[in-house]
Structure 1
C-alpha cells in the first residue's frame, strides 16, 4: 500500500523528501487532486524533490504514485460506477478545459456516448505524451477513484505494446492537440484493428488521429 510504503521508507529519506512524505501522509485525499507543482508548493519543496521522494518509495514518478494512492483510497470508499456517470461527464469537461477551456465546443451527444463507453469498459487505456501526458495521468487516477480500471504510461513503446494485449471490452482514450502525434496515431490504428472502441480528444477534426478514432471530441469551433 502506498501510505504504508512511504512510512516504511521514511527513515531513509533526506530531510526535504520527508517534508513531501509528511504532507502526503497528513493529506492523502488532497494529494490525489494536486499536480506536482501544487504538492511541491504546499510541502515547501520543489518539483525535483517530489519526484525524488516518489522514486525513493519505488515509483517511476509522481503521477504513478498518485494513481496508486488513489487506488488505495478507493479501497476505503467504493463508489457505484453507474451512479457516477455525472462525474465522468464532469471529467470530460475538465479535460477539455485543460486543453483549451472549451467544453461548450464539444458535441454533447458524443460526450454522452463516450461517458457510457467508459462506464462499461473493462479497462480504459490513456494514450498521450508530452504536454498532454499530465492530463492523461490525471484522467487515469480519477477513473480509478470511480472504480474504473485504467492504464497509462509515459513510455510510448510500452503503452503501445500494452494496447496490443487489450481486448474488445476495453476502451482507448487518446489525447493530442494536433492529432498528428505519431505514437498516438499508431496506438489508435492498433486499437481499431483489435476492435476496441476509441475516443480522441483533440483541437482539430482534420488530422490523421481523428481519421483513426471512433469518436472525436474536438475543442475547435
Structure 2
C-alpha cells in the first residue's frame, strides 16, 4: 500500500502530496488520527484528505485507514503479517486474500523475464539430454520442492526432490555437468542449502535459486529467480512467500511444457490419466 502511494506521489496535486507525505512519514499515526487533526498536520482542508484517499484508489478516508492499519500492522506471529488480534473471520479472509493478490500483482509487475527465460532454457535442455533435475528445499520450502517434482516428473523430466539436508548434500555430490538443481528458500540463509549449492556447482551442475533478493543464497547459484515479499522469516510463517514460490514453479513448468511440445506430451499425459482412472470412484 505504501509503495502504491509512493508511485502515485508525482501525479497528485500539491495539497494531496502533503497528505501523502504525512502518510509515508508515519502511517501508524495517520491511521489513528481523526480527519481534522490530519488536515491540520498536512496544512490542507478536510475534503483534501478525503480526495487524496480517493486519488490513490480507495473509497474514502475510512476505507483508506482500515487498509492502512492492516498493511502496517505487526500482526500475529506465525499467522499472517497483516492480521490483527481482534480481527473477525471476515476481516481475516479479506486481509489474507488482499495481501496475497497484491503480492502476486507486484511480482507480475516487477519480475525479470530474463531470469525466468534462462531458467526455462536450462530446464528444457536438461530434459532433452535426459540429465537430472533436482529440487531442494527445507521446511515449507521442502513442500514446494515436492510440488515442483510432482509437476515436472509428469512432463517426463528425470527429477527428484529432497527436503533433508544430509540427503541434499549426498545427492549434490553425485551430480555432474548437464544436471540441474533448483533450490527453493524463503530466507535464503539456510546453511544446508548453501552447502548443497556449492557442491552442485563444483560438480558442474547448473544451479537455479528461487529466493529473496539480497540473501546469501541469491548469489550462490547460476540463475537467481527473485521472489520478494516482506515476510520476516524469523517471525512469521512464510505464507505468501510460499505461494509466490508455487506460482513461479507453475510458470516454469508451463514454459517447459510448451518447449517440449504438445505432440510429445499429450500421449504421455493421456496415458497417466487413463492409468489413474481405476483409482477413482465413477
- SS of the residue aligned with 2:178? coil
Q: Could you tell me which residue of structure 1 aligns to residue 114 of structure 2?
A: 109
* Whole-angstrom distance in 2 between the partners of 1:144 and 1:172: 14
- SS of the residue aligned with 1:216? strand
8 Å CA contact 1:192–1:212 kept in 2: the answer is no
Mapping 1:123-138, distance limit 5 Å = 123-138=132-147
Q: Which string of whole-angstrom CA distances, capped at 9 and with x for unpartnered residues, describes residues 142-177 of structure 1?
A: 100111111212321012101101111100100011
* Whole-angstrom distance in 1 between the partners of 2:122 and 2:197: 16
The ranges of structure 1 where at least 4 consecutive aligned residues each deviate by more than 3 angstroms after the TM superposition are: 100-103
- SS of the residue aligned with 1:134? helix
Which structure has the bigger radius of gyration?
A: 2
Q: Could you tell me which residue of structure 2 aligns to residue 220 of structure 1?
A: 228
Q: 5+ unaligned residues in a row in structure 1: which ranges?
A: 1-96
RMSD: 2.0
Give yes or no for the alignment of 1:154 onto 2:163. yes
Scaled by the length of structure 1, what TM-score is found?
Answer: 0.52
* Alpha-carbon shift at residue 106 of structure 1 (Å): 2.2
Scaled by the length of structure 2, what TM-score is found?
Answer: 0.41
* Whole-angstrom distance in 1 between the partners of 2:214 and 2:161: 26
Q: 5+ unaligned residues in a row in structure 2: which ranges?
A: 1-99, 230-282
Q: Which string of whole-angstrom CA distances, capped at 9 and with x for unpartnered residues, describes residues 43-94 of structure 1?
A: xxxxxxxxxxxxxxxxxxxxxxxxxxxxxxxxxxxxxxxxxxxxxxxxxxxx
* Alpha-carbon shift at residue 219 of structure 1 (Å): 2.1
Give yes or no for the alignment of 1:208 onto 2:216. yes
Give yes or no for the alignment of 1:167 onto 2:176. yes
Q: Which string of whole-angstrom CA distances, capped at 9 and with x for unpartnered residues, describes residues 109-135 of structure 1?
A: 110110011111111110101011111
* Whole-angstrom distance in 1 between the partners of 2:216 and 2:187: 9
